[in-house]
Structure 1
């Protein structure tokens, strides 16, 4: 899916490769951010000690992701704001909407919690599966990001492994805190 750096290089003007690379960078950023966010929230859910309410928990995870995406998009728009006040609202809305990968990355967690709400499985097994899935997903995001950056497959696997360790850290912290 993602190739080496030659994909973004060429003889055209120097800013063109950066513009072409930005959607891939946003996808990777949002995917990693959303996956880590979903993992951290799932680990917190396992520790809340209250009555299990996976439907509410699914809504909580989704709303947190939407709020994070909106806040990040808004901050990005402010950081790149120009002196032209006529395009501020449109550029801000466009910046917020480009944060969709962050929201998409939490959807497996939301789906697992909704499955628990439908009583297809319990909330605790759903959280355990999601934490493992998200850990593997972090490996994939790291691998993809390294390949986009032009790294070899071996180096990309090492980067993916380090990213996966972040996921394992979250799972480990969840297990140790029980």
Structure 2
């Protein structure tokens, strides 16, 4: 028996799609950066195509896990089926997957022989660090902050990228 009063579901917050986009963008960018940084430490022959597939699979698995966990956490107490809701929740994690596409494209370019895997990794880390600044700037501007405050927020997000690059340099 349901304890929820009959009637329409409460409206979704207007900012939720933007929040999901920003969350997925930052999460996916950090995930791609960490994965691509780890790739430079292979002891065997380089395999940028294999690496690109694994970066993409990791993003897909992360998006599916996050969407599924979100659906489970918000499961209806009345016991109704959540199959459609779960699928919808997983599909709303597309920004996480989209954020790894530039890194995957760079690795596929290395696979095609357009540049080396090392160059792809270095450019991906640089590009992802710049993207983190953009995500932070965009999020702060969307929240109504001024340009100076938004640039500071972008700079803080960009620090995540610098930490990954720094760790990559230290580990090498």
Partner of 2:44: 50
Deviations 1:26-68 (A, max 9, x none): 0000000000000000000011222100000000000000000
Structure 2: tracts of 5 or more residues without a match? 1-9
Residue among 101, 109, 112 paired with 2:106: 112
Task: Give the 5 Å matches for 1:130-169.
Answer: 130-169=124-163
Residue among 66, 72, 75 paired with 2:60: 66
| TM-score, with length taken from structure 2 | 0.91
Residue among 160, 167, 171 paired with 1:173: 167
| TM-score, with length taken from structure 1 | 0.88
Partner of 2:3: none
Which structure features the higher share of helix residues? 1
CA RMSD of aligned residues (A): 1.2
Matched pairs, number:
163
Structure 1: tracts of 5 or more residues without a match? 1-14
Cα distance between partner residues in 2 of 1:124 and 1:146: 33
Query: SS where residue 48 of structure 1 aligns?
Result: coil
Partner of 2:20: 26
Which segments of structure 1 move beyond 4 Å, counting only runs of 4 or more? none
Residue among 64, 69, 72 paired with 1:78: 72
